Amino acid sequence: MSDDYNIGAIRRLLTAAFDSGELRIFCMDRPVLRPVVTQFGSGMGLDNMVDEVIDFCRTRLVWDDLLAAVKEERPAQYKRFEAELGGSGQTAPVRPQPTPSAVTPSPGSKIKILFLAANPQDTDRLRLDEEVRAIDQALRMAEFRDRFELEQQWAVRVSDLQGLLLRFKPHVVHFSGHGSTFSEIILENAQGNAQAVPEEALARLFRVLKGNIRCVVLNACYSKVQARAIAREIDCVIGMSKAITDPSAINFSASFYQALAYGESVQTAFDLGCLQINMEGLGEEDTPKLKARRGVDATKVTLVGPA
């Protein structure tokens, strides 16, 4: 588990051992790490690439594989940091008390997806109606379609958020709309204009009202940092690392929820969503990012299965 490792030391090790090109080749040459290469955007710097590798290892729980590979490939650099890295028999930070997961849906119960949409009148028009239609159609065609309820709320205001989470008690919260370059999601104010929600405020809201929530999807531009903050409280969170176009957002959502409704894990659903963007030739398959809460393996988080 990631709590057994000194993440700061691993970050320093990777930064010292590789440049950006070397890290890309290092991951590509190792099957267990190869999937993370799809998250390396064109021209991405070393620091961001290291962040992606660490997030990948935290999600897939492959720290031992990573460190063994670095030890083999860069033994001198590994030796410099070995005493700090943690893991089996090594010095590790004090393990915090784990945050309880959300309640797992009981077999046969309904899975509630709360679709929150906001397209303030002073922002560019988005095809949010096409996105929710695509999600609804994907759910209706899936194996476990009778287990899902899709609730829609439109023109969502900042003042609405608490009440909507309390009212619907969702398992999945999906926000569709605009995000700012400061990593804030954009809702509406009382006049219908844009109002940004600060990163930490939204994370605190999910800390207080996480209830049944297993997954949050922020299908909005520049929402990766926001997703990372929410992932301190929620098992799996998806955000966008940069601007994303309507076609990519729609294709990702439809494919993601289709996979969930066939009983696939959040990790598999995410991977298929990114793959669908790629298959459509849209060139934005590296924009969605999945963040998992510390100690959570997204490959093992599923919402439905045989009753």
pLDDT digits (tens, 9 = 90+) for 140-175: 999 999 999 999 999 999 999 999 999 999 999 999
Neighbours of 246 (CB within 10 A): 13
Q: At what angle do helices 63-73 and 7-17 cross, to 10 degrees?
A: 30
Summarised one tens digit per residue, pLDDT across range 256-280 is 999 999 999 999 999 999 999 999 9
C-alpha distances out from residue 79 to 18, 73, 75, 83, 168, Å: 15, 12, 6, 8, 52
Mean pLDDT of the residues in the chain: 89
CA distance 278 to 282: 6
Distance set, CA 161 to CA 156, 187, 219, 234 (Å): 8, 10, 16, 16
Q: Which residues of 18-29 are buried (b: 16+ CB within 10 A; e: fewer)?
A: beeeebbebbee
Query: What is the DSSP-derived secondary structure letter of residue 77?
Result: H
Q: Give the domain ranges of the chain.
A: 2-84, 111-300
Tell whether the model's pLDDT for residue 224 goes beyond 70: yes
Spatial distance between the Cα atoms of 58 and 176, rounded to a whole number of angstroms: 26
What DSSP line would sit under 259-299, residue for residue? HHHTT--HHHHHHHHHHHHHHTT-S-TTSEEEEE-TT--GG
pLDDT of residue 273: 97
Tokens 């096409």 map to which residue?
Answer: 130
Convert the pLDDT of each residue in 85-133 to its tens digit.
Answer: 876 544 333 334 344 455 556 666 899 999 999 999 999 999 999 999 9
Placement of tokens 């309507």 in the chain = 246
The CATH number of the structural domain formed by 111-300 is: 3.40.50.1460
Strand partners for 124? none
**Which residues touch 24 (CB under 8 Å, ≥6 apart)?**
37, 40, 49
How confident is the model at residue 238, as a pLDDT? 97
Q: What is the pLDDT of residues 275-297, one digit of tens each?
A: 999 999 999 999 999 999 988 99
Contact 229, 200 (CB under 8 A): yes
Rounded to two decimals, the pTM is 0.70
Predicted confidence at residue 95, as pLDDT, reads 38
3-state secondary structure of 219: strand
User: Which residue has 């398992």 as its token pair?
Assistant: 171
| Token code pair at residue 131 | 């996105």
pLDDT of residue 106: 63
